[in-house]
Structure 1
Amino acid sequence: MKNYAVIVAGGSGSRMQTAQPKQFLELEGRPVLMHTLDAFANCDLEMHIILVLPEDHIATWQDLVKQHTYKTRHQVTTGGSTRFDSVKNGLGVIDESGIVAIHDGARPLISAEVIQRTVSQAQKTGSGIAAVQMKDSIRQLINGQNKAVDRSQFYTIQTPQTFKVNLIKTAFENSKSNAFTDDASVLEANGVQVNLVEGSYDNLKITTPEDLVIAASILKRRK
């Protein structure tokens, strides 16, 4: 089956305290987003990469591609007003069956091993969702009262979230809400069980200035 990646990059720079969207910030000499796309291209040279950007970010991306002489093959399409709408637009580009990995553009440290685990699981069961067990102790707050809960029963969900194309496209088309911020939840709401696979604690999402520092350190360690 053909493999696709839908990379959603609609973030802003608000929590990064910058005017520039976080996916365009420099990480070890290149924009964050280029690291992300390359992770998928290097994992599977035949993977069709679809980059979903807000319309007013496309010109900036094109300028960066020229500036960095960026050669990784990808197709750009326009996002929507919510993450749900952006993913749906990206899926709409796909007109064949296969496997699609949906990934946050601001997660540049995704490894080939995690991508491959999600793809393998999706091939077998229809979905493969990267997740890691929680490290910290957690408490549940209900009506102003809190209590300790067993953290071993809880996972932090990451991306890629990978699916058989027909399953996830049907789920998005059938959804009566565009408020979902998690693709696995869209599939689950359509009555389909989702399956978790081991993610990675390195697979952080660039959200705050501290995240860039950590990401740079991880890239240096890998080198």
Structure 2
Amino acid sequence: MNYIIIVAGGKGLRMGADIPKQFIPVGGKPILMHTIERFHAYDEAMDIILVLPESQQDYWRQLCLTYHFDIAHRVVNGGETRFESSKNGLNAIPEGAQGLVGIHDGVRPFVSLTAIGACYDAAKTSRAVIPVLPVTDTLRHINTVEGDKNVLRSDYRIVQTPQVFDIALVKKAFQQPYRESFTDDASVVEALGHQVTMVEGNRENIKVTTPFDLKIAETLLRP
């Protein structure tokens, strides 16, 4: 069975909103509902695990009633960090379960079905996959000792989600103690010495975290 863990623990501070950013309505419904719909559209049988702060869960249940949102999903408590939230989601998968699990940002509602499929398909053999995009802007490395300098953008990639893993592998990885070097879920798996495979993401798969991102989201959902 395939699983998807959708992590939605934002507080909306950069958005300047009165409610957490994942609950802001765009295109007629909260952002988080659009995100869940993407994975349900990819695989109706996928087990969807939603990671939310306990303090937000009653509000989410009310939103589901208000918007008549009935896609089946489970809700588990978020942690103090992204690492803890992902770990809580993984703990909701039964021990000994076989298959693949993706971990996705709740405020990335525009991931394409093609990108989702590429991640899950590649993970069947590589066991750890991330979607990426080429860097289009010039990059500059800041070094207070040797001085700043431009770097080759062809040496870098923009990393997106979902990041998809073999269940047994990623569960083992998240048994490690937290480190500051764990900047995403793939870095936790890499710490075990397992190589991560890159596949092509999609440009529309933005993370909606600022008012400007919200304007882009509204445009993308415009008929």
TM over 0.5, shorter chain: yes
- Out of 206, 214, 218, the position equivalent to 1:212 is 214
Kindly provide the CA deviation profile for residues 93-146 of structure 1, in whole angstroms up to 9, marking residues without a partner as x. Answer: 111111001000010111111000000111011011011111100111112511
Residue 159 of structure 1 aligns to a residue whose secondary structure is coil
In structure 1, what is the Cα distance between the partners aligned to 2:119 and 2:85? Answer: 21
Q: Specify the alignment match of 2:192 in structure 1.
A: 190
CA contact (8 A) 1:134 1:154 kept: yes
TM-score by length of 2: 0.96
In structure 2, what is the Cα distance between the partners aligned to 1:181 and 1:24? Answer: 24
In structure 2, what is the Cα distance between the partners aligned to 1:41 and 1:178? Answer: 33
In structure 2, what is the Cα distance between the partners aligned to 1:202 and 1:26? Answer: 18
CA contact (8 A) 1:120 1:128 kept: no
Q: Specify the alignment match of 1:199 in structure 2.
A: 201
* Letter in structure 1 aligned against 2:137: D
Q: CA RMSD for the aligned pairs?
A: 1.0
Q: Specify the alignment match of 1:90 in structure 2.
A: 89
Structure 1 residues without counterparts, runs of 5 or longer: none
TM-score by length of 1: 0.96
Kindly provide the CA deviation profile for residues 126-174 of structure 1, in whole angstroms up to 9, marking residues without a partner as x. Answer: 011011111100111112511111101100111000000001110001x
Q: Specify the alignment match of 1:16 in structure 2.
A: 15
In structure 2, what is the Cα distance between the partners aligned to 1:114 and 1:217? Answer: 21
In structure 1, what is the Cα distance between the partners aligned to 2:159 and 2:172? Answer: 22
Q: Specify the alignment match of 1:177 in structure 2.
A: 178
User: Per-residue deviation at 1:178?
Assistant: 5.2
In structure 2, what is the Cα distance between the partners aligned to 1:34 and 1:115? Answer: 17
Q: Bigger CA drift: 201-210 or 142-151?
A: 142-151
Q: Specify the alignment match of 2:152 in structure 1.
A: 150
* Letter in structure 2 aligned against 1:64: L
Q: What is the aligned length?
A: 219
In structure 2, what is the Cα distance between the partners aligned to 1:101 and 1:77? Answer: 16
User: Per-residue deviation at 1:181?
Assistant: 3.2
In structure 1, what is the Cα distance between the partners aligned to 2:135 and 2:16? Answer: 27
In structure 2, what is the Cα distance between the partners aligned to 1:60 and 1:147? Answer: 48
In structure 2, what is the Cα distance between the partners aligned to 1:103 and 1:120? Answer: 16
CA contact (8 A) 1:12 1:20 kept: yes
CA contact (8 A) 1:84 1:178 kept: no
4+ runs of 1 displaced by more than 2 Å?
Answer: 178-181
Residue 14 of structure 2 aligns to a residue whose secondary structure is coil
Q: Specify the alignment match of 1:120 in structure 2.
A: 121
User: Per-residue deviation at 1:13?
Assistant: 1.2
Kindly provide the CA deviation profile for residues 64-109 of structure 1, in whole angstroms up to 9, marking residues without a partner as x. Answer: 0000010111011111110100000000011111100100001011
